[in-house]
Amino acid sequence: MSSDVPQGFEDRLRQRTSTRNSNTLETIPVNHQPHGNIPNTPLAASTISFLLGCLFSLSLTLFITGGISEHWWATYQLAFFLAAWSAFHWGEFAVTAGWNRDKCSVDSFLLDNGAMYHVAHGVALMEYLITLYLKPSLKAHSYVSTIGVIMVVVGQTLRSAAMIQASDNFSHIVAFRKLPSHQLVTHGVYSMFRHPSYAGFFYWALGTQLVLQNPVSSIAYLFVLWKFFSRRIKAEEKALILFFGQDYENYRRRVGTKIPFIR
């Protein structure tokens, strides 16, 4: 028998250790440190993926079946919101792991995205459930929810496509230092949207509130998201002009953001 074949537990352990660097499951990003609020380990990543997958599966099933009439809160609208939310966060990690490995960490789920992010979703859910309980007729405009579903699907597709096409040029954190690997991406969805990942999230988030038929949260989301992306794009583009000079200036003149009132 060949001596290369491990004979016992210790041999198998040594073989696993020696090959770990070439076949690693570690989620250690390059050039930045995770926040640290969620353990940056494969166990944490797999557990979060499992929980998000369970929530997505249950919610999608409830959405497809049209909800449960015996329970006033178990509506197709709430089900779609939860399915969209879980798919978004799993997708952020999955796309980063698949096309931007050096930046992948447990933070790539974007679950540690600041307290206000979770407050916004919590307030939206409260508005929906309180209104549904007190006056369900206000949630009966199915065409509004249909428009919201379309916006969510289009927004998610646009954002994921942008992250895939940008590959290792994409980052959840704005880069203010140009790396040798940085390239100006102008093909695919970037030929139609100057910041497709931002536009995708903008319409995804607004779509979730249309699905829930939340008038107050829809207006609040519109205002807060517009203000956030307006400031972020201005700051990011100052860096991009330093990185790419006239090439980026020409690109910026040629392609808009497709976010209202943000040229």
Tell me the pLDDT tens digit for each residue of 127-149: 999 999 999 999 999 999 999 99
> Helix 42-64 crosses helix 76-99 at what angle (to 10 degrees)?
140
**pLDDT > 70? residue 193:** yes
pTM attached to this predicted model: 0.89
Greatest Cα pair distance, the chain, in angstroms, is 76
pLDDT digits (tens, 9 = 90+) for 197-234: 999 999 999 999 999 999 999 999 999 999 999 999 99
Backbone angles phi, psi at 112, to 5 degrees: -100, 60
Distances (CA, A) of 187 to 12, 155, 179, 193, 194: 47, 18, 20, 10, 10
For each of the domains in the chain, give its residue range(s) and CATH number, in order of start. Answer: 32-254 (1.20.120)
